[in-house]
Amino acid sequence: MDLIIDCSLNYLEIGLINNKNIVDTFFVIQNKNLTKILIPSINDFLNKNNIDKFSIKNLYIINGPGSFTSIKLIAILANVWKISSNINLYEVNTCLWNVNNINCFSYLDAKSSKWYVQKVENGVIKPICILENNDFEFERNNFIKKHKFYSIVDCNQKQTMFDKWNYTKHSFNKVNKITPLYIKDSV
């Protein structure tokens, strides 16, 4: 059994994976209370599915960008879990996690008139970047003109974990340690 955890935005979502397919999910809006709900939610979810945490072989983490505290917390949890049970760790960034097409423009509000952007063009993943408002509008419009079949994805819009997993499961990178993806400098 494998587990996927996404808490990069304003929610906590957990998925149980068996034979590379998600078989169950858990979802809750987090109200700046992730430190209180993360461990109990994972334990309850595993108990509900009669899974012992030591039977988890692979842990898939969405490592940001997004909520600074949430991303830091999930990285700590994943890294400690690896030390205590020797699981395999995998990570993917928030924008790439939300990609749903071989031509996709995935974006996330970075606040202060900036946007995190992930482009996939003809199946080729471009580096995630941060754009100012004017550059964002130009890049998005240019992408729409350039691709006949495209997707424009706002990462803040809820998509099912099943859909995201089916498209991006091959985009996760195996790592020895989860490293939070902070693109903007801290204030």
Task: Spell out the long-range contacts of 20-24 with Cβ–Cβ below 8 A and sequence spacing 24 or more.
Answer: 20/169, 22/161, 22/162, 22/165, 23/49, 24/48, 24/49
Please report which confidence band the pLDDT of residue 131 belongs to, taking 50, 70 and 90 as the band edges: very high
Provide the CATH number for the domain formed by 2-94+159-175 in this structure.
Answer: 3.30.420.40
3-class DSSP state of 119: strand
| pLDDT given for residue 122 in this prediction | 84
**pLDDT tens readout for residues 64-117:** 998 888 999 999 999 999 999 989 999 999 999 988 888 889 999 888 888 999
CA nearest neighbour of 168 among 129, 114, 125: 125
- Residues contacting residue 41 through CB under 8 Å, at least 6 positions apart: 12, 14, 26, 28
Which residues of the chain does CATH 3.30.420.40 include? 2-94+159-175
Q: Is the pLDDT of residue 144 over 70?
A: yes
Instruction: Note whether 128 and 79 are within 8 A (CB).
Output: no
CA nearest neighbour of 23 among 41, 48, 57, 53: 48
At 26, give phi and psi (nearest 5°).
Answer: -135, 140
pLDDT, greater one: 60 or 69: 60
Please report which confidence band the pLDDT of residue 51 belongs to, taking 50, 70 and 90 as the band edges: very high
First CA to last CA distance, the chain: 39
Please report which confidence band the pLDDT of residue 185 belongs to, taking 50, 70 and 90 as the band edges: low
The two three-digit tokens of residue 33, written as one number: 């209370």
Top-tier CATH class for 95-154: alpha beta
